C-alpha cells in the first residue's frame, strides 16, 4: 500500500492520486525557489523571500538542512548554499579550529540549538503564508563540496567521514552512516509537528558515478529509518526520492510521489517530461524540482525559459514544479529584479490557468491532439469529453550537462487536429505570458479530425476546451 501522510498534513489526493491535497482540498505546488540554503545561510532573510513568493501565489520551497555545503563562487558570486562564515548547521561548533570553510570544526555529538530555532521559525513563517517545504536531507557529494560538509573527517572533531566523496553515498563507512542516520532522525523529530513538510532523501544520488546498487541500498536504509522514526510520532509525512538512472524508487510503495530534475534525460538525471512519458503509469504525483539555473549557468532569456519549462510540465500532468532561482540571495532576499518579477508572474499565471479549471479531475492526455501543422511541443491534460487544457510551444531542448529550452521565436498560426467526443465545445486561446485571451471559437466534436486554427503568436500558446452541451 502506498505510504501516505496523515490527514491534515500535505498528502497524496484520494480523489486523484496524481495530485496532492491539503486540508481536504487538491493543490498544485508551483514555485521559483532560492538555492536550498535559506536555513543554513544565517543572514538570509527568509521572511522577505516568503513574502515575495506569497505575493505571486507561489507555494513551495526546498532546503538542504546542512549535510552539503558548496564552495563560494562555484555557481554564483553570492550563493545561499555557500554561506561562508555565516553558516549555521545542525551540529554545534567545537573549540577546535580548522574547518575548511572558516571557523572551528563541528562536534557531531552536540546539536546547535540556534539552528533548530531557525529551522522551526522558517517552517512557521512558511506555513503562515501557505508555503510547503521539501526538506532534502542529502545531495550527492562531489570533490569540491565534500571537504566542506560537517560530516567530512577534517570538518568534525570525531574524525567521522574518512571515505571519499563517492563513499558518502554508500553504506561502507559505518561510522559515517550512523551519523547520517542520527541527522535524519533529529531533523524528523524536530519537524514532525508541521503539516507543510515533505521529506526527500537524496538529490542526484549517482550523478558522481557512485555504484548504483550501493547508492540504492543506502537510500533504502534511509526509507526504513524514516518510517521507523515516524511510527513513534504523531504525524506521518510523505517520503520521496529522486528518480535517477540506477536508482529507481518510482514504483516503490514507500515513495509517495516521483521526483525528477530538468526536462529530459541529462547526464544521469531522468527529466520531468521524460517521467511524464514513462512513469505516469504508477499513478503517483510527479514533481520537477530543479531546472535551468538562472542567472547562474543559464545566461539567456530567463523569462521565457522559466515559463516554457513550467507550463509544459504542469499542463502535461505534473503535480509540483520548482524553478531554480538565483535572484534570491542574502543581499536581495526578496529577489527584487524586473526579470525576476516576470518569472514569478509567469508562474502565477500558470497556477491561475490550471486552478481556473477542475484540474483535480484531469490527467495526462496524449490522444486528443492528432496533428499540428507546424512543429511544436504539445502537452495536454483532460477530463475526457468535459474539459481540456493544452499548452504548445516552439522551442527545442539543448542537452548537455543539464537540459533547457532554446526559444524559437517566429510568427505561428498552426492548425491543430483533435479527436473530440460528440458535443459542442468552446475553445479559448490564452497567451501564457500575460493570460490575455487571444481568441475564442466554437467547435463540434464527434470525429478524429476536428480542426482548430490558432490565433497568431510568437512562441507559445495555451488553450482551454470546455464542453458546453
pLDDT category, 405, cuts 50, 70, 90? confident
Q: What CATH fold (topology level) applies to the domain 11-360? A: TIM Barrel (3.20.20)
Model confidence at 408: pLDDT above 70: yes
Element (H or E) spanning 441, and its range?
Answer: strand 437-444
- Give the mean model confidence (pLDDT) for residues 426-432: 98
Q: What is the pLDDT of residue 295?
A: 85
Check residue 401 and give its pLDDT: 64
Average pLDDT over residues 456-465: 97
Tell me how far CA of residue 180 lies from CA of 96, 164, 427, in angstroms: 22, 15, 53
First to last CA, the chain: 40
Split at pLDDT 50, 70, 90, the class of 263 is: confident
The cell numbers describing 308, all together, are: 516554457
State how far the Cα of 395 lies from the Cα of 306, in Å rounded to an integer. 13
Residue 246 has pLDDT above 90, yes or no: no
The model's pLDDT over 119-177, given as tens digits with 9 standing for 90+, comes to 999 999 999 999 999 999 999 999 999 999 999 999 999 999 999 999 999 999 999 99
Matching fold, domains 11-360 and 365-467: no
**pLDDT band per the 50, 70, 90 thresholds, residue 302:** confident
How far is residue 441's CA from residue 454's CA, in Å, rounded to a whole number? 10
Look at residue 228 and tell me whether its pLDDT is greater than 90. Answer: yes
CA–CA gap between residue 61 and residue 29 (Å, rounded): 9
Cell output for 370: 492528432
What would the mean pLDDT of 243-255 be, rounded to a whole number? Answer: 94
**Spatial CA neighbour of 146 closest among 133, 164, 172, 159:** 164
CATH code assigned to 365-467? 2.60.40
Q: Cα torsion at 252, 254, 255, 257 (round to 10°)?
A: 100
The arithmetic mean of pLDDT across residues 40-62, rounded, is 98
- Read off the pLDDT band of 1 (50, 70, 90): low
Rounded Cα gap, residues 141 and 147, in angstroms = 9
Q: What percent of the chain has pLDDT over 70?
A: 99
CA distance 11 to 84: 36
Strand order in the sheet with 11-12: 11-12, 20-22, 25-27
Report the C-alpha gap between 333 and 48 in whole angstroms.
Answer: 6
Where along the chain do its domains lie? Answer: 11-360, 365-467
**DSSP annotation string for 16-47:** -TTSEEETTEEE-EEEEE--S-TTTBTT--HH
Radius of gyration of the chain from its Cα atoms, rounded to whole angstroms: 23
- 270 grid coordinates: 531522468
Report pLDDT for 373. 87
pTM beyond 0.85: the answer is: yes
Residues found in the chain: 469
pLDDT at 457: 96
Task: Quote the mean pLDDT of the chain.
Answer: 95
Q: What percent of the chain has pLDDT over 90?
A: 87
Residues 72, 85: Cα–Cα separation, whole Å:
11
pLDDT confidence bin for 340, thresholds 50/70/90? very high
Which residue is it, cell 490527467?
A: 363
Omega before 295 within 30 of 0, i.e. cis: yes
Amino acid at each position: 500500500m502506498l505510504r501516505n501522510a496523515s490527514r491534515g498534513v500535505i498528502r497524496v489526493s484520494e480523489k486523484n492520486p496524481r495530485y496532492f491535497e491539503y486540508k481536504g482540498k487538491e493543490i498544485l505546488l508551483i514555485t521559483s525557489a532560492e538555492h536550498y540554503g535559506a536555513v543554513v545561510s544565517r543572514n538570509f532573510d527568509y521572511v522577505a523571500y516568503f513574502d515575495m513568493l506569497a505575493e505571486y501565489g507561489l507555494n513551495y520551497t526546498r532546503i538542504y538542512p546542512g549535510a552539503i555545503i558548496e564552495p563560494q563562487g562555484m555557481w554564483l558570486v553570492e550563493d545561499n548554499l555557500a554561506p561562508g562564515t555565516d553558516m549555521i548547521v545542525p551540529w554545534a561548533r567545537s573549540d577546535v579550529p580548522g574547518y575548511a570553510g572558516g571557523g572551528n570544526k563541528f562536534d557531531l555529538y552536540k546539536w546547535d540549538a540556534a539552528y533548530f530555532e531557525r529551522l522551526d521559525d522558517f517552517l512557521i513563517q512558511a506555513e503562515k503564508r501557505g508555503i510547503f517545504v521539501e526538506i532534502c536531507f542529502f545531495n550527492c557529494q562531489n570533490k569540491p563540496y565534500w571537504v566542506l560538509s560537517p560530516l567530512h573527517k577534517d570538518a568534525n572533531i570525531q574524525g567521522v567521514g574518512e571515505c571519499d566523496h563517492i563513499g558518502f553515498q554508500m553504506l561502507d563507512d559505518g561510522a559515517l552512516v550512523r551519523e547520517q542516520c542520527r541527522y535524519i532522525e533529529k531533523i524528523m523529530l524536530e519537524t514532525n509537528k508541521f503539516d507543510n513538510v515533505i521529506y526527500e532523501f537524496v538529490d542526484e544520488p549517482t550523478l558522481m558515478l557512485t555504484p548504483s546498487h550501493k547508492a540504492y541500498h543506502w537510500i533504502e536504509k534511509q526509507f526504513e529509518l524514516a518510517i521507523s522514526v515516524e511510527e513513534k510520532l504523531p504525524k506521518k509525512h510523505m517520503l520521496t526520492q529522486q528518480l535517477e538512472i540506477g536508482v529507481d524508487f518510482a514504483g516503490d510503495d514507500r515513495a509517495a510521489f516521483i521526483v525528477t530534475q530538468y526536462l529530459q534525460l541529462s547526464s544521469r538525471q531522468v527529466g520531468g517530461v521524460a517521467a511524464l512519458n514513462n512513469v505516469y503509469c504508477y499513478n503517483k504525483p510527479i514533481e520537477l524540482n530543479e531546472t535551468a539555473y538562472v542567472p547562474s549557468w543559464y545566461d539567456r532569456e530567463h523569462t521565457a525559459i522559466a515559463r516554457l519549462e513550467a507550463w509544459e510540465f504542469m499542463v502535461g500532468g505534473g503535480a509540483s514544479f520548482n524553478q531554480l532561482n538565483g535572484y534570491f540571495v542574502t543581499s536581495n532576499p526578496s529577489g527584487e529584479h524586473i526579470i525576476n518579477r516576470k518569472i514569478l508572474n509567469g508562474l502565477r499565471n500558470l497556477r491561475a490557468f490550471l486552478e481556473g479549471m477542475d484540474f483535480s479531475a484531469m490527467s495526462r492526455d496524449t490522444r486528443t491532439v492528432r496533428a499540428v501543422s507546424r512543429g511544436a511541443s504539445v502537452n495536454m491534460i483532460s477530463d475526457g469529453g468535459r474539459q481540456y487544457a493544452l499548452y504548445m510551444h516552439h522551442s527545442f531542448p539543448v542537452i548537455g550537462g543539464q537540459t533547457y529550452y532554446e526559444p524559437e521565436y517566429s510568427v505561428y498560426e498552426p492548425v491543430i487536429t483533435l479527436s473530440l467526443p460528440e458535443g459542442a465545445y468552446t475553445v479559448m486561446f490564452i497567451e501564457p505570458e500575460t493570460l490575455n485571451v487571444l481568441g475564442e471559437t466554437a467547435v463540434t466534436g464527434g470525429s478524429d479530425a476536428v480542426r482548430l486554427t490558432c490565433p497568431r503568436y510568437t512562441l507559445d500558446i495555451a488553450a482551454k476546451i470546455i464542453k458546453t452541451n
